[in-house]
């Protein structure tokens, strides 16, 4: 499927095709490209039934923007009656008794869920290789990773299996796979989208967001997903902006901050050149480039890999084999059951982060690691505040390299973590950011990251939309057979 979500919205409204036809086309594409391993669960029967309901509602005058549009959820959102695995053996057979708020909201719009996409186990990874259900493959080169942890969603959209999907972003897990797969992905401000029913990795960092071909697509999805939720204590009560209506307008007078620290050592030269070309296009469209500095951004990586594992070690303590999820079969006593369940149920990367987090929170090390990381997080946020005094948005590369080969970094966790060097600071500050296609290097997509001030998603989407009106990078499709 080469059409964007926005084009499908307009096509359904005009009666050019039905929701049933769209769902059947998507299911056929999913079947043809099982080798990508983008889905963990496909719910074809329920999807066809929902599509038929959507067609009847539209025939009766239903006008919800997403009515009848097919999409997929990252397998981290609880879905009543459909298993939610989080890419882990620990939850391989878990069926949630309720829907996450994001699931509720999209269902209320009449959007049709086709299934649940593959992901790094408990959203811990930058390559989608840690999933209990196997690695996802990049549609542009199946020998390469799609990025993580929302790699299944990114690959499914890039390959045309679905027009859009949900993702989650703790340190770059929407934006980095969006860059690797050549799609548009938005990480909203912390608190803009409810986390209720979204299985937690690091509660002060996790945020749900849309993944699709274009900024216009993401605007439609965010409009449906965003809003206050009394069941989520971190949800923000600020009214939701008109994201779709706000796309109109030019870039005259827009000040684009270019972070000097993001163009130094570690950035692939070809990606740097593609990023500068994208910045020049923004300038041609009327924006002004402004030099800004984020002096503490280099320290974001160690800061994140203290805070996120610390929160994960607490959140994942609930998976003990007692209440729900996987339980070891043979054990001597309760303590042995705990140990074997967690030893067998969690993969290597999850165990690594639990151990790091538990160490950072332990007596004697809390002040030395966790408390210092909290202080550094404040400095990172202050850097952004100072930068936004001189610019309206910040632009730069999403990732330092293009998609790397499967297995290339599996034995080098630090090298793997470095892929999030440009995305992590945004999560620490709780700001919105998106990645959009901005060129190719040796046939692989390159992403441009735009970061906005708190709750300024509408401006980010407008800038990206104007750029995509002037370029066609987001229209390029992978050479699938």
Q: Point out the residues that are catalytic.
A: 74, 149, 173
CA dihedral 303, 306, 312, 315 (to 10 degrees): -100
46: its two tokens: 């329920």
* Cα distance between residue 473 and residue 214, in whole Å: 10
76 in helix, strand or coil?
A: coil
CB half-sphere exposure, 214, CA atoms < 13 A: 24
Q: For the chain, state the CA radius of gyration.
A: 21
Beta bridge partner(s), residue 82 = 79
- Residue pointed to by tokens 């939309």: 465
Within 10 angstroms of residue 94's Cβ, the number of other Cβ atoms is 16
- Encode 313-333: b = buried (16+ Cβ within 10 Å), e = exposed: bbbbeebbbeebbbbbeeeee
478: its two tokens: 């992978």
The total number of residues written for the chain in this structure: 481
* Cα distance between residue 375 and residue 361, in whole Å: 15
What H or E segment, with its residue span, contains residue 123? Answer: none
* Beta-sheet strand order (sheet of 444-452): 39-42, 112-117, 70-74, 164-169, 207-212, 184-187, 433-441, 444-452, 393-397, 255-259, 288-292
Q: Of the candidates 301, 345, 299, which has an alpha carbon nearest to the alpha carbon of residue 322? A: 345
Burial class for 480, CB neighbours closer than 10 Å (0-12, 13-18, 19+): middle
Q: Of the candidates 464, 437, 433, which has an alpha carbon nearest to the alpha carbon of residue 451? A: 433
Within 10 angstroms of residue 288's Cβ, the number of other Cβ atoms is 14
Handedness of CA 169, 474, 144, 298 (dihedral sign): negative
Q: Of the candidates 266, 218, 263, 209, which has an alpha carbon nearest to the alpha carbon of residue 243? A: 218
- For 116, which DSSP code? E
* Cα distance between residue 51 and residue 40, in whole Å: 21
CA dihedral 216, 219, 224, 227 (to 10 degrees): 180
Residues whose CB falls within 8 Å of the CB of residue 380, separated by 6 or more in sequence, listed in order: 294, 296, 297, 299, 300, 303, 425, 428, 429
């Amino acid at each position: 499927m080469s059409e964007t979500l926005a084009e499908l919205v307009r096509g359904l409204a005009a009666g050019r095709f039905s929701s049933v036809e769209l769902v059947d086309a998507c299911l056929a594409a999913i079947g043809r490209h099982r080798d990508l391993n983008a889905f963990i669960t496909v719910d074809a029967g329920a999807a066809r039934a929902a599509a038929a309901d959507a067609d009847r509602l539209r025939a009766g005058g239903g006008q919800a923007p997403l009515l009848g549009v097919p999409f997929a959820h990252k397998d981290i959102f609880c879905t009543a009656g459909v298993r939610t695995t989080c890419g882990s053996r620990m939850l391989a057979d878990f069926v949630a008794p309720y829907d996450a708020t994001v699931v509720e909201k999209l269902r209320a719009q009449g959007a049709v869920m086709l299934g649940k996409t593959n992901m790094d186990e408990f959203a811990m990874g930058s390559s989608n290789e840690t999933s209990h259900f196997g690695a996802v493959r990049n549609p542009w080169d199946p020998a390469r990773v799609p990025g993580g942890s929302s790699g299944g969603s990114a690959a499914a959209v890039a390959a045309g299996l679905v027009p859009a999907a949900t993702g989650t972003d703790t340190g770059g897990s929407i934006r980095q796979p969006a860059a690797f797969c050549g799609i548009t992905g938005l990480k909203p401000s912390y608190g803009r989208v409810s986390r209720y029913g979204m299985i937690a990795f690091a509660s002060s960092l996790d945020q749900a967001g849309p993944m699709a071909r274009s900024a216009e697509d993401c605007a439609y999805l965010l409009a449906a997903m965003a809003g206050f939720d009394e069941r989520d204590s971190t949800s923000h009560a600020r009214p939701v902006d008109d994201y779709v209506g706000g796309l109109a307008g030019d870039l005259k007078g827009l000040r684009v901050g270019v972070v000097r620290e993001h163009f130094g050592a570690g950035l692939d030269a070809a990606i740097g050149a593609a990023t500068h070309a994208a910045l020049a296009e923004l300038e041609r469209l009327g924006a002004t480039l402004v030099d800004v500095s984020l002096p503490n951004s280099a320290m974001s990586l160690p800061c994140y890999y203290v805070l996120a594992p610390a929160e994960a070690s607490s959140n994942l303590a609930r998976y003990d084999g007692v209440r729900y999820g996987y339980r070891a079969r043979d054990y001597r006593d309760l303590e042995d059951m705990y140990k074997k369940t967690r030893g067998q149920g969690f993969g290597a990367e999850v165990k690594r982060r639990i151990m790091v987090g538990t160490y950072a929170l332990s007596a004697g090390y809390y002040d030395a690691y966790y408390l210092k990381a909290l202080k550094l997080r404040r400095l990172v946020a202050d850097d952004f505040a100072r930068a936004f005094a001189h610019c309206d948005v910040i632009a730069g590369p999403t990732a330092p390299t293009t998609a790397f080969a499967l297995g290339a970094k599996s034995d080098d966790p630090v090298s793997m973590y470095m892929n999030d060097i440009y995305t992590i600071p945004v999560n620490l500050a709780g700001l919105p950011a998106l990645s959009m296609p901005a060129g190719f290097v040796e046939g692989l997509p390159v992403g441009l990251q735009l970061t906005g001030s708190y709750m300024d998603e509408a401006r980010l989407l407008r800038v990206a939309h104007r750029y995509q009106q002037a370029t066609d990078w987001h229209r390029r499709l992978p050479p699938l057979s």
